[in-house]
Amino acid sequence: MGFFSKLFGGKTSVESLQRALEQKRFADALYLAEELNSESLGEENVALVANLRAEAGDGLARLNLIEAKAKQDNGEAREANTYFDMALQYAHSEQLIEEIGQARQVAVDLVTSVKAVTAPGCGTCGPGGGAQRGINPSAGIDDAIRFDLILTSYPEGQRERYQYRGPDFVGAFLLAHEGNDVQADELFKKVKETERDDLYWFEVGAVQARMGHLAQAKESLEQSLQQNPDLLLAVEALVEVLLSLGQVEDARMLIEDKLRGDHDNLSPFHALLVTIHSHRQDWPAAVVHVRHCLQRNYNDPSFVALAAAVMEKVGDLAAAEDLLKRLPAGGGCKGSTTSLQLAEFYLRHQRELEKAFSSFNAAVKQDPENPRWRLRLAQTCFARQWCKDGMQLLQQLDGDPSVPAQIKKEVGYLIERYQG
């Protein structure tokens, strides 16, 4: 479920950077930090983003260090050195840098007496002796590093299959993950027919979905699943596309067919049925699949948030609150121990308003451009009988031309309600 966000994206914020770190998506976090650095940040946020970027760098460095040691143990000195280089490039803490240096020294001691031998082979071969990764050598080490960085956010079982790709695929892949979907789509078309496997069609389908070409995206994702019916990434993406096309019954039949297959872990499919039934607002049907996942300790953050919404819809507020408490605290401010989803739950039910206020206040400080949190803060002020503060926030929103129409409408309603 976490890959749904890869299809349609979202605005970069300090909160999204923190969430990426909490979920150990270090490559995503590093990219988000770089994007935030190019924006106008307050003094407090500049220091916070710098600290979060360092944390993301250390996390990424440690992943590369683990890979380097594995290559080292297999006697692959050249590959090990590449990963050691990447680890050093992203490490921030002195202790980690020293650890990388010590591990690398062990490799030097082991291989200095062994003459390197290049095995014969061609550049278009798959994994094997002497085969090279399919990144265009003229692109330089930066593209190779970026490629590896992005793959750290992919499911572990899929990463190895991405490593041996032609230059057109890699170039299109990098363009897609930079948000250049039109250019990526054009470059994907240049990939050789013989290289168009299930992963190719998944990536093409994801690009087409983001571009709004949903019928084409559906065909591409179906092609991916024809070649590999077990590719969960494509299943998740196809469900999202089918729902966007209004083909809810097709989405349901797709997943129920998967449930009849031979899979070690059925929870991701039950989680997708929660999404499908929620789309239809069939809450009793959704609850059945929520309970299946919870009994098997399925804890994907996207599922947990959706499961909480389902339990709230059927009136099981205790279960909804318990699920929302599993989500990481939002806002990024000391003293805020409540996730924004839980804060909104408390606001809806007029409970724990002090915690809700603290969470929304922290979110406004961290993401001042997001009007949603200013609106929620205003609503919490009114709930706590702080009408003057609430009205001041509403007037700020009402006078801000960048606020979306839907929020403006809600602001106008609240001003009319509380002005008298």
Q: Return per-residue pLDDT of the chain as tens, 420 residues.
A: 544 444 444 445 677 777 777 777 777 677 677 666 545 555 556 667 777 888 888 888 888 888 778 777 777 777 777 777 778 877 877 788 878 877 776 533 333 223 233 333 333 233 333 333 444 433 444 677 778 878 877 887 788 888 888 899 999 999 988 888 899 999 999 999 999 999 999 999 999 998 889 999 999 999 999 999 999 999 999 999 999 999 999 999 999 999 988 777 899 999 999 999 999 999 999 999 999 999 999 988 889 989 999 999 999 999 999 999 988 765 444 445 688 899 999 999 999 999 999 999 988 887 788 899 999 999 999 999 999 999 999 999 998 888 888 889 999 999 999 886
Tell me, yes or no, whether 81 and 27 share the same domain: yes
Q: Within a domain: residue 238?
A: yes
Q: Which of 182, 211, 246 is the last residue of a domain?
A: 246
**140 and 30 assigned to the same domain:** yes
- Same structural domain for residues 220 and 297? no
Q: What is the CATH number of the domain that holds 283?
A: 1.25.40
Q: Where are the alpha helices (DSSP H) in 163-282?
A: 167-177, 181-188, 198-210, 214-227, 232-244, 248-259, 267-279
Give the integer Cα–Cα distance in Å for 250 and 65: 44
* Domain presence at residue 3: no
Please give the structure tokens belonging to residue 348. Answer: 């809806």
The Cα 408–Cα 287 span in angstroms is 34
Q: Are residues 277 and 319 in the same domain?
A: yes
Same domain, 25 and 148: yes
Structure tokens at 381: 């002020």
Amino acid at 297: N
- The verdict on 61 and 140 lying in the same domain is yes
Residues 148 and 182 in one domain: no
Q: Is residue 273 part of a domain?
A: yes
Instruction: Print burial letters for 360-370: b (CB count within 10 Å at least 16), e (below 16).
Output: bbbbbbbbeee
Specify whether 205 is located in the same domain as 319. Answer: no
For residues 368, 369, 372, 378, the Cα torsion angle rounded to the nearest 10 degrees is 40
Domain that holds residue 176: 172-246
Report if residue 69 sits inside a domain: yes
Pairwise CA distance, residues 331 & 14, whole Å: 8
Query: What's CA 38's distance to the chain center, in Å?
Result: 20
Q: What is the pTM of this model?
A: 0.64
From its phi and psi, is residue 39 left (phi > 0), alpha (psi between -120 and 50) or beta?
beta
Residues 240 and 264 in one domain: no
Based on the fold, state whether residues 206 and 216 are members of the same structural domain: yes
Q: How many domains does the chain have?
A: 3
4 within some domain: no
CB atoms within 10 A of CB 82: 20
Q: Which residue among 209, 224, 246 closes a domain?
A: 246
Rounded Cα distance, 413 and 415, in Å: 6
**Residue partners of 116: CB distance under 8 A and separation at least 6:** 77, 78
Domain membership of residue 346 (yes or no) is no
Domain shared by 44 and 78, yes or no: yes
Whether 92 maps to a domain, the answer reads: yes
Q: Is the dihedral of CA 134, 139, 145, 148 positive or negative?
A: negative
Q: What CATH number should be reported for the domain holding residue 236?
A: 1.25.40.10
Residues 260, 231 within the same domain: no
From 268, 301, 327, give the residue that closes a domain: 327
In a domain, 28, yes or no: yes
**Tokens 């892949």 belong to which residue?**
173
